[in-house]
């Protein structure tokens, strides 16, 4: 073992958020992505016309760039992800954005590049200073526009990325979506940033391209220099600088084990998810884009348990039309080809969307006007989506699911609007599924506690553990300061989940779990032991989950569940699950990254 000295850099771990899975080992390239302000250069009144022509040319050239990038991204990543760049083009064509820049050039007699840098810089800073994480992530979209226009106004030097050697890991303060999409993937194998969140467009592009990524590392770039060896662990959300020989060997072994493990899972994809004693467990997929349905099916999923529809809003500067909704859902129905397809109505608000559309942002949007509350208070928007969903139901089987239901009245109102639109469509002579199933997410304690009453009204339950944990434990799951308190193995959470499953079974209605914890192998055994028979997870989690299911019997899972529910500490529960699960089916965990 090499002992660090004053001339030997010390191994240094930087935790962050793993937003795109995978482990890579490479050399660091630090990008200076802090967009500097252009000096204020005055111009004469006679020069205004020429300056405006320069400005207009730069805007047109930037829009042309974005259209070309959109076409390329559409081929490589699919329509929904590529729409990010179409939105950027629309923004640059928006008079409300570019108009003030032209006015600044004319009235204040400044150069075009200063007007662009200053006004877009002010806008980006406003987003960065917001307490809302989704606003912060929009700043890199504005930076992207600024850099693109300034490139055409000033002329840019060739990107340092052209000089990147193979096996380069990019470190940056932040990255824009187009920077990420523009990476030469034969050279750039991963990236990490100081800033960023799970829902940023940059993270979405990384996942679509399959580039391992860790964001939110805070001071990573300050600690790094070009050429350093680094390990980027997108599975656990960790970056290791100057790894020791032992760390390198350990991670290289993990990479090899993961590769072999995934190869061993290939044959499982077409096999049924049935326990050793013959109990069938339904495995569905969680998706954000219609194209992901193919990934779910290829991984061995039986359908879609959760299609999040928020991205229709997050990739546009305007609300999607009924036809926009319809086309997206029709595409999903076509790709699902008769398989189960559950579509959740828009879960907007809090860190996602609504705060940018109000004059005075809410002090605590996570407890404010979000999800079904927002929809019921914005009925024209809600009804556009419901009409599209009902029209799409004529093309194949779908189910509608309402998010963040906290009271019977909310569900009844949502159901009333569906029935009302059914009447409208019938009068218009449009087809729809008259027996459409309507269910709800169980994401808050009030819904879990009232599950017996809800079970008399709904067609199915889906337990959303992400929010259920957050609201049960009063822990903001996006807040790094209290991240250690966020635990899906907390006894209070387990008791709520068990109770919901029991009451759904008593009422003879289907119940699934679609939170991130459903993809955790140890926790999945617990859920099965509680009586759950449907799990909805990301496509990458499906093969491992199927292997686990085919290696256990129900009695083993029930014994684990009985022991876990008797404990009074999340630490004890986690330890129990890890010990029991790995003892019962050690082969299901081969090749997985160490916890």
For 426-468, write each residue's pLDDT tens digit. 999 999 999 999 999 999 999 999 999 999 999 999 999 989 9
Domain end, chosen from 105, 130, 154, is at 154
Of the residues 332, 375, 514, 557, which is catalytic?
A: 514
> What is the pLDDT, as a whole number, of residue 595?
37
> What is the pLDDT, as a whole number, of residue 594?
36
Sign of the C-alpha dihedral computed for residues 417, 423, 424 and 429 taken in this order: positive
Residue 201 catalytic? yes
Q: How many CB atoms neighbour CB 131 within 10 A?
A: 12
**352 and 398 fall within a common domain:** yes
In a domain, 315, yes or no: yes
Q: How far apart are CA 302 and CA 285, in angstroms?
A: 8
Q: Determine how β-strand 168-172 pairs with β-strand 238-241.
A: unpaired
pLDDT band at 314 (very low <50, low <70, confident <90, very high): low
Domain end, chosen from 261, 288, 306, is at 261
**201 and 299 fall within a common domain:** no
> What is the pLDDT, as a whole number, of residue 343?
98
Helix (H, G, I), strand (E, B) or coil at 432: coil
What's the number of domains the chain is made of?
Answer: 3
> What is the pLDDT, as a whole number, of residue 222?
80
> What is the pLDDT, as a whole number, of residue 168?
95
Cα–Cα separations (whole angstroms), residue 518 to 511, 526, 527, 542, 577: 13, 10, 8, 10, 14
Is the pLDDT at 588 greater than 90? The verdict is no
**324 and 418 fall within a common domain:** yes
**229 and 316 fall within a common domain:** no
Q: How far apart are CA 194 and CA 181, in angstroms?
A: 19
Are residues 445 and 469 in contact, defined by beta-carbon separation less than 8 angstroms? no
> What is the pLDDT, as a whole number, of residue 283?
97
Is the pLDDT at 487 greater than 80? The verdict is yes
Tokens 């932040």, residue?
Answer: 174
Average pLDDT for the chain: 86
Domain end, chosen from 261, 293, 315, is at 261
Helix (H, G, I), strand (E, B) or coil at 511: strand
pLDDT tens digits for range 41-56: 788 888 899 889 989 9
Domain interval for residue 273: 262-589
Query: 241-250, 354-363, 477-486: which range is least confident on average?
Result: 354-363
Tokens for 116? Answer: 């662009």
> What is the pLDDT, as a whole number, of residue 7?
42
**313 and 460 fall within a common domain:** yes
In a domain, 595, yes or no: no
> What is the pLDDT, as a whole number, of residue 360?
58
Are residues 35 and 237 in contact, defined by beta-carbon separation less than 8 angstroms? no
In a domain, 378, yes or no: yes
Helix (H, G, I), strand (E, B) or coil at 560: helix
Comparison of pLDDT for 33 and 434, the residue scoring more: 434
Tokens 């699919």, residue?
Answer: 78
Q: Where are the beta strands (DSSP E) in 346-418?
A: 399-402
Cα angle 23, 27, 31 (rounded to 5 degrees) comes to 105
Tokens 């009030």, residue?
Answer: 446
Q: What is the mean pLDDT of residues 367-395?
A: 94
Is the pLDDT at 285 greater than 60? The verdict is yes
**146 and 189 fall within a common domain:** no
Q: What is the CATH number of the domain that holds 122?
A: 1.10.274.10
Q: What is the mean pLDDT of residues 60-82?
A: 85
Counting DSSP H helices and E strands in the chain, the numbers are 23, 16
pLDDT over 90 percentage in the chain: 53
**407 and 320 fall within a common domain:** yes
Q: What is the mean pLDDT of residues 268-297?
A: 91
pLDDT band at 83 (very low <50, low <70, confident <90, very high): confident
> What is the pLDDT, as a whole number, of residue 223?
85
Query: 95-104, 133-142, 389-398: which range is least confident on average?
Result: 133-142
Of the residues 88, 201, 488, 490, which is catalytic?
A: 201
Tokens 């990010």, residue?
Answer: 84
H or E segment at 164? Answer: none
The answer for residues whose C-beta is within 8 angstroms of residue 10's C-beta and 6 or more apart is 4, 242
Query: 205-214, 329-338, 491-500: which range is least confident on average?
Result: 205-214
**253 and 131 fall within a common domain:** no
In a domain, 40, yes or no: no
For helices 201-209 and 48-77, give the axis angle rounded to 10 degrees: 40
Phi, psi at 531, each rounded to 5°? 110, 5
**298 and 233 fall within a common domain:** no
**341 and 456 fall within a common domain:** yes
Task: Select from 473, 504, 513 the least CA-distant residue to 489.
Answer: 473
In a domain, 3, yes or no: no
> What is the pLDDT, as a whole number, of residue 265?
73
Phi, psi at 346, each rounded to 5°? -55, 130
| Residues counted in the chain | 595
> What is the pLDDT, as a whole number, of residue 273?
95
For helices 322-336 and 379-392, give the axis angle rounded to 10 degrees: 30
What are residue 536's DSSP bridge partners?
A: 284
What are residue 439's DSSP bridge partners?
A: 401
In a domain, 594, yes or no: no
Q: What is the CATH number of the domain that holds 176?
A: 3.50.30.10
**149 and 68 fall within a common domain:** yes
What are residue 29's DSSP bridge partners?
A: 170
Q: How far apart are CA 432 and CA 390, in angstroms?
A: 5
Task: Select from 139, 135, 140, 151 the least CA-distant residue to 65.
Answer: 151
The tally of CA atoms less than 13 A away on the side-chain side of residue 227 is: 1
SS3 sequence of 457-501:
CCCCEEECHHHHHHHHHCCCCCCHHHHHHCCCCCHHHHHHHHHHH
Sign of the C-alpha dihedral computed for residues 126, 122, 196 and 222 taken in this order: negative
> What is the pLDDT, as a whole number, of residue 344?
97
Cα angle 294, 300, 304 (rounded to 5 degrees) comes to 60
pLDDT tens digits for range 519-567: 889 999 999 999 999 999 988 889 889 999 999 999 999 999 999 999 9
Comparison of pLDDT for 584 and 434, the residue scoring more: 434
What are residue 13's DSSP bridge partners?
A: 240
Cα–Cα separations (whole angstroms), residue 106 to 47, 100, 148, 152: 10, 10, 22, 20
pLDDT tens digits for range 173-206: 888 766 777 788 889 999 999 887 765 667 766 7
In a domain, 23, yes or no: yes
Q: Where are the beta strands (DSSP E) in 264-334?
A: 282-287, 304-308
Tokens for 175? Answer: 């990255």
In a domain, 39, yes or no: no
Is the pLDDT at 159 greater than 90? The verdict is no
pLDDT tens digits for range 201-240: 677 667 766 789 999 898 898 888 778 999 999 989 999 9
Q: What is the CATH number of the domain that holds 268?
A: 3.20.20.60
Residue 557 catalytic? no
The answer for residues whose C-beta is within 8 angstroms of residue 9's C-beta and 6 or more apart is 228, 241, 242
Is the pLDDT at 584 greater than 80? The verdict is yes
> What is the pLDDT, as a whole number, of residue 329?
97
**360 and 482 fall within a common domain:** yes
What are residue 408's DSSP bridge partners?
A: none
> What is the pLDDT, as a whole number, of residue 202?
74
Helix residue spans in 28-132 (DSSP H): 48-77, 79-92, 95-108, 112-128
> What is the pLDDT, as a whole number, of residue 516?
78
Tokens for 218? Answer: 């805070």
């Amino acid at each position: 073992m090499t002992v660090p000295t004053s001339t030997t850099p010390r191994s240094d771990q930087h935790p962050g958020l793993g937003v795109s899975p995978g482990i890579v080992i490479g050399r660091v390239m630090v990008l200076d992505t802090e967009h500097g302000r252009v000096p204020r250069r005055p111009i004469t009144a006679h020069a205004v016309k020429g300056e405006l022509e320069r400005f207009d040319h730069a805007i047109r050239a930037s829009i042309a760039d974005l259209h070309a990038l959109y076409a390329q991204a559409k081929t490589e990543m699919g329509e929904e992800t590529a729409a990010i760049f179409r939105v950027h083009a629309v923004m640059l064509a928006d008079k409300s954005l570019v108009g003030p820049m032209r006015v600044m050039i004319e009235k204040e007699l400044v150069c075009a590049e200063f007007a662009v840098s200053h006004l877009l810089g002010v806008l980006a800073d406003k987003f960065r200073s917001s307490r809302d994480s989704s606003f912060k992530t929009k700043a890199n979209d504005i930076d992207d526009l600024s850099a693109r226009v300034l490139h055409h106004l000033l002329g840019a030097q060739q990107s340092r990325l052209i000089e990147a050697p193979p096996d380069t890991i990019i470190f940056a303060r932040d990255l824009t979506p187009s920077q990420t999409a523009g990476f030469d993937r034969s050279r750039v194998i991963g990236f990490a940033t100081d800033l960023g969140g799970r829902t940023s467009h940059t993270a979405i592009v990384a996942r679509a391209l399959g580039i391992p990524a860790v964001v939110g590392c805070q001071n990573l770039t300050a600690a790094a220099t070009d050429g350093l060896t680094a390990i980027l662990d997108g599975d656990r959300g960790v970056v290791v600088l100057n790894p020791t020989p032992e760390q390198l060997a350990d991670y290289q072994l993990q990479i090899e084990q993961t590769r072999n493990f995934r190869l061993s899972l290939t044959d499982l994809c077409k096999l049924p998810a049935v326990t050793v004693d013959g109990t069938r467990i339904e495995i569905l997929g969680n998706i954000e884009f219609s194209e992901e349905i193919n990934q779910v099916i290829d991984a061995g999923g039986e359908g879609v348990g959760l299609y999040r529809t928020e991205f229709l809003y997050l990739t546009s500067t305007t609300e999607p039309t009924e036809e926009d909704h319809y086309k997206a859902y029709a595409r999903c129905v076509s790709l699902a080809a008769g398989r189960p397809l559950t579509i959740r109505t828009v879960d907007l608000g809090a860190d996602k969307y609504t705060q940018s559309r109000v004059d005075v942002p809410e002090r605590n949007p996570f407890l404010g006007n979000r999800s079904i509350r927002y929809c019921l208070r914005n009925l024209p928007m809600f009804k556009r989506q419901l009409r599209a969903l009902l029209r799409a139901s004529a093309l194949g089987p779908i189910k509608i699911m309402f998010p963040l239901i906290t009271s019977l009245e909310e569900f009844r109102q949502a159901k009333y609007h569906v029935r009302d639109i059914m009447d409208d469509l019938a009068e218009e002579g449009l087809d729809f599924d008259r027996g459409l199933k309507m269910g709800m997410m169980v994401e808050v304690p009030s819904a879990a506690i009232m599950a017996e009453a809800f079970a008399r009204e709904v067609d199915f339950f889906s337990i959303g553990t992400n929010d259920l944990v957050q609201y049960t434990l009063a822990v903001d799951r996006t807040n790094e300061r209290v991240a250690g308190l966020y635990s899906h193995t907390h006894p209070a959470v387990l008791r709520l989940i068990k109770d919901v499953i029991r009451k759904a079974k008593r009422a003879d209605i289907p119940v699934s779990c679609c939170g991130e914890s459903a993809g955790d192998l140890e926790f999945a055994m617990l859920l099965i032991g509680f009586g759950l028979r449907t799990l909805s997870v990301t496509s990458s989690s499906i093969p491992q989950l199927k292997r686990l299911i085919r290696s256990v019997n129900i009695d083993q899972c029930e014994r684990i569940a009985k022991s876990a529910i008797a404990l009074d500490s999340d630490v004890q529960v986690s330890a129990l699950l890890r010990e029991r699960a790995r003892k019962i089916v050690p082969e299901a965990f081969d090749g997985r990254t160490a916890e």
